[in-house]
């Protein structure tokens, strides 16, 4: 087996390189083995990452057991919940590109033979995977696992309940004591927040696409099986190296379709649209938004995890996890079971014997929550290039809705109006100039959506934006409107009081204004000044592409 690491460990010419390894205490025996990068996003600022030192150590143990030399390197990570609602959120999505670049940089500069990626939250998972796809060296993803659900008012809850509690407090539905009870109870420990939010969505989809081992998406962070999984991930990457199985052998058009089928069944975050598009881009796979609706029309929604329903990731794990969901989807012919995965086995071999153990968490195909999938792409004169809604988290009465536009040129203006009680039943809140370029960074809108839910307006008020939503958002929250306002998109032409018609089942979203009037408005439109003019975010704003292509850098 020819190793890339020979470029830094072998031969007379590499004596200077070896001397630097020896400076760190590596032995000749270690340098004669494959060098495996363990990319850990451990930090003391992200609850989902606070324990990744233990996960990374278990991965290293597995690599050593299988004959490799593990080498720990770092990655950054933004906690979306802590960054939410202020300028920090502008850095979250944009950090995905920094993470991808850093994985590529560390692996190329030091010539690692293979990688185990140890992320957990939001942008860190796709960012690491994007970097690994560029390198195309054997890779396994091993996440830190989901947080256990918290308790509030005697019920299982997670972070989305906390954001909704703020809205409830603003209009006096709860008092300060109840707010404090919620904030001290919803997040009981380490792990990615316990609902089907972006982090858990991506960790489940890594499993579904085949780049992570079974259990990656659902084994709770605090379970001993999570440590066992990490050891097995370390062993698995050595087998992939031996067999020369690379990420692009695993991630292809068929496996992405498998991931989409699971996405629809699980009711994953709308952010999976951005990230799957970006992952496909790095894998060299042609993929556009239309495929989401094609798969959604075929695959039923089987799960209503928070925020769509009362169940959480620990319930999905107890019900059999992703293998149980996959086994159910196979019954309908929705998965290709012949594809190779990070276990070195096929999808079919991985899920042999799996079944749903609890129909409260995962429904069978013959009794789904809906006959269509959890996500829907909409098109219309507001979004010629598409936008996305988490259909499974929309109340039935809001699947079709018309109402007057309440227009805001930033999230801050919108949340101020919501908190002041200025949004009424039937309104359609429009938040623009928050896209990848206009934000910049495409902020998540969990504060406004949760405030509306907490005020009991999620069943009567819709929200559309060229920004995006946390997986914790629920209601008729329609994001990723493309083209964005800052790129001349027609969402920038909507005026206060315009009637907006939303028809989710028929995949349409339109402002009821003639093309002539829109043309007149466009002729008079004056673009606002960029919100960020210095630092790397200004560079990001110049280089980022549209949400409908994954917001990758040009």
Q: Kindly list the catalytic residues.
A: 470
Q: Determine the 3-state secondary structure of 408 from DSSP.
A: strand
Q: Which two tokens stand for residue 223?
A: 């379970």
Helix (H) or strand (E) holding 333, with range, is: none
Number of Cβ atoms within 10 Å of the Cβ of 96: 27
DSSP 10: S
Q: Is residue 342 within 8 Å of residue 353, measured between CB atoms?
A: no
Residue 14: exposed, middle, or buried by beta-carbon count in 10 A (0-12, 13-18, 19+)?
Answer: middle
Q: Spell out the alpha helix ranges (H) of 10-89.
A: 15-23, 28-31, 52-65, 80-83
Q: Cα separation of 131 and 543, whole Å?
A: 18
Cα 510 to the center of its chain, rounded Å: 27
Q: Cα separation of 416 and 445, whole Å?
A: 13
Q: What is the dihedral of CA 291, 297, 300, 303, to 10 degrees?
A: 50
Q: 283-309 as b/e, with b when 16 or more CB fall inside 10 Å?
A: bebebebebbbebbebbbbbbbbbbbb
Q: Cα separation of 436 and 286, whole Å?
A: 21
Q: Which two tokens stand for residue 187?
A: 């997040």
Q: Determine the 3-state secondary structure of 348 from DSSP.
A: helix
DSSP 34: P
Query: Three-state SS string across 146-173, please?
Result: ECCCEEECCEEECHHHHHHHHHHHHCCC
Count of helix runs (H) and strand runs (E) in the chain? 22, 14
Q: Which residues contact 505 (CB under 8 A, 6 or more apart)?
A: 399, 400
- Exposure of 323 in the CB half-sphere (CA atoms within 13 A): 21
* Helix 271-283 vs helix 124-135: crossing angle, to nearest 10: 10
Q: Is residue 350 within 8 Å of residue 446, measured between CB atoms?
A: no
Q: Is residue 483 within 8 Å of residue 547, measured between CB atoms?
A: no
């Amino acid at each position: 087996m020819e190793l890339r690491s020979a470029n830094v460990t072998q031969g007379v010419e590499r004596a200077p390189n070896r001397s630097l390894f020896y400076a760190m205490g590596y032995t000749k025996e270690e340098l004669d083995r494959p060098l495996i990068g363990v990319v850990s996003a451990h930090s003391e600022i992200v609850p989902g990452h606070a324990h990744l030192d233990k996960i990374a150590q278990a991965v290293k143990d597995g690599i050593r057991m299988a004959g490799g030399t593990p080498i720990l390197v770092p990655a950054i990570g933004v906690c979306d919940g802590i960054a939410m609602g202020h300028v920090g959120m502008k850095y979250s999505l944009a950090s995905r590109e920094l993470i991808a670049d850093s994985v590529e940089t560390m692996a190329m500069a030091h010539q690692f033979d293979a990688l185990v990626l140890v992320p957990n939250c939001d942008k860190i998972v796709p960012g690491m995977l994007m970097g690994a796809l560029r390198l195309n060296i054997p890779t396994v993803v091993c996440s830190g696992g989901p947080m256990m659900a918290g308790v509030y008012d005697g019920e299982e809850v997670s972070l989305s309940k906390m954001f909704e509690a703020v809205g409830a407090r603003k209009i006096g539905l709860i008092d300060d004591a109840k707010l404090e009870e919620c904030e001290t109870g919803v997040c009981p420990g380490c792990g990615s927040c316990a609902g089907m939010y972006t982090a858990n969505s991506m960790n489940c989809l890594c499993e579904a696409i085949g780049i992570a081992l079974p259990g990656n998406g659902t084994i709770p962070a605090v379970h001993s099986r999570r440590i066992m999984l990490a050891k097995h991930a370390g062993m698995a990457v050595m087998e992939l190296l031996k067999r020369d199985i690379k990420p692009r052998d695993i991630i292809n058009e068929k496996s992405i379709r498998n991931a989409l089928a699971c996405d629809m069944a699980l009711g994953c975050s709308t952010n999976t649209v951005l990230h799957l598009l970006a992952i496909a881009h790095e894998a060299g796979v042609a993929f556009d938004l239309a495929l989401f609706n094609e798969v959604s029309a075929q695959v039923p929604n089987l799960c209503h995890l928070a925020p769509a329903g009362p169940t959480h990731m620990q319930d999905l794990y107890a019900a059999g996890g992703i293998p149980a969901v996959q086994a159910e989807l196979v019954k309908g012919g929705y998965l290709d079971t012949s594809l190779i995965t990070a276990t070195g086995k096929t999808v079919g071999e991985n899920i042999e014997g799996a079944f749903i153990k609890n129909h409260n968490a995962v429904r069978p195909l013959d009794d789904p929550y809906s006959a269509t999938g959890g996500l829907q792409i909409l098109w219309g004169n507001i979004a010629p290039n598409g936008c996305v809604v988490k259909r499974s988290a929309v109340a039935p009465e809001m699947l079709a809705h018309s109402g007057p536009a309440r227009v805001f040129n930033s999230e801050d203006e919108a949340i101020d109006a919501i908190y002041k009680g200025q949004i009424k039943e039937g309104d359609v809140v429009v938040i623009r100039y928050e896209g990848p370029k206009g934000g910049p960074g495409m902020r998540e809108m969990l504060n406004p959506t949760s405030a509306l839910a907490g005020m009991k307006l999620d069943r009567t008020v819709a929200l559309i934006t060229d920004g995006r939503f946390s997986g914790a958002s629920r209601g008729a929250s329609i994001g990723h409107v493309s083209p964005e306002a800052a790129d001349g998109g027609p969402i920038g032409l909507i005026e206060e009081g315009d009637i907006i018609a939303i028809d989710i089942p028929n995949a349409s979203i339109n402002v009821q204004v003639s093309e002539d009037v829109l043309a007149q408005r466009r002729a008079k439109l004056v673009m606002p000044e960029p919100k960020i003019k210095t630092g790397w975010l200004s560079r990001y704003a110049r280089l980022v592409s549209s949400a409908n292509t994954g917001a990758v850098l040009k």
